[in-house]
Structure 1
């Protein structure tokens, strides 16, 4: 029975992979335990994928969602090469075709990470693009863009002057509250802004001459860092 599911879904998702080239899609693989999501894999947007599923039970909804249960093994290939394998007792695979605005946002985020000359003109263009993305979609975290493109957005944020950074921080805070961006990113942005304003930082992420800039309530520093997913400070700040 498992081999039948494997064959059927290999063919179906191979066809879906061909469609992805014409209709850029966001594919995500959600691993569940006890009915709750415990892990999520976001595939980069662009490559043509085939997704092969072995499972005891498989349900599929309009070729956009596959729900597999019992000894599930999901094998993801791009260009015939296996790029990831996910196993579990319950896995959901989702595919969403991007609309025009979503695709434009993804392409803008890709451009932010492109190599090349960096100057004031490029910084202004990237700021404008980031503002447009945030206004339309909220902060582009992992759920929207995947980890790599989300990192591109964060890198642009950290280059901004304080006033521009402060305007975008509420969106970053909201995304972090939804576990869509790492706490470490929010900690760095908060500290960068506080230091720029002449205030003590809260998480010890900003350094000067190899040492952290003045830290607020240093006795509780490691507690705050732990809440943001940061390790304890390796050495005393010396403040």
Structure 2
């Protein structure tokens, strides 16, 4: 174990190369970074293979390397620099970094979750210009994606941010959001639990709750579903007077703001 203490801040440069999913000499790894304040986690990052080069700068009073990973403490400043992205800087009291090896099955699951993001949007990205045949192709993709997601869930549980990172966890949600109603009802309880653990954003849960309610012919709670987009018409909402209050608890903007954004989006297409 290495330990170094100084009265001034230390700069530790951690280069985390991308081993890739097909590496022959180095097995892929998941890197988990937790930033704490007053003993509680205030931010977490999960870095996966296949996401490009990553560089992390840590400025802190003390650093320790152990068999479990890396620990920094005392006025921690974490700056993450990812390929083709704006650097992100976070502050806290302690930082814990650990890396875990992925087996072939887990690495394959993560690669499939990555690919789902592109295929989910491959045709529906511009819905105003889709014909019947195009939607049929998208529906076939959606069905295949949901089948694969179901097998991943069966093996690993819901692929939230600690398993799949924020980007791939969002891909899993999009697949479920565009799946059949039976699948949405089946996995809605898992998404609720994932949100309660901080594994998924509450806004995702709001959208799925509303979609299931709409499928059941019931009034939605959070105003995320629409009767039509041309013209823009919101689907039936329960207790409209408290809609913005409910939206706020789920991390959603006021309904008026959301409607303006939707109108602008469809006018630009």
TM-score w.r.t. length of structure 1: 0.82
| Of 111, 116, 125, the match for 1:112 | 116
| Of 42, 57, 60, the match for 2:62 | 57
Match of 2:203 in 1: 184
Distance 1:78 1:214, change over 3 A: closer
Distance 1:75 1:191, change over 3 A: closer
Q: Kindly indicate whether the alpha-carbon contact (under 8 Å) linking 1:191 and 1:202 is maintained by their aligned counterparts in 2.
A: yes
1:149 equivalent to 2:165? Answer no
* Per-residue deviation, residues 112-152 of structure 1 (Å, max 9, x unmatched): 01254643432222111110111122221222111211111
Distance 1:70 1:175, change over 3 A: same
Match of 1:30 in 2: 34
Match of 2:262 in 1: none
Match of 1:17 in 2: 17
Distance 1:132 1:88, change over 3 A: same
* Per-residue deviation, residues 29-54 of structure 1 (Å, max 9, x unmatched): 22211111111223343234454444
RMSD, aligned α-carbons: 3.0
In the TM superposition, residue 157 of structure 1 has moved relative to its aligned partner by 1.0
What is the SS of the residue equivalent to 1:57?
strand
What is the SS of the residue equivalent to 1:140?
coil
Structure 1 gaps of 5+ residues are none
| Of 110, 127, 145, the match for 1:126 | 145
Q: Kindly indicate whether the alpha-carbon contact (under 8 Å) linking 2:211 and 2:225 is maintained by their aligned counterparts in 1.
A: yes
1:167 equivalent to 2:186? Answer yes
Aligned pair count? 230
What is the SS of the residue equivalent to 1:55?
strand
Structure 2 gaps of 5+ residues are 124-136, 260-269
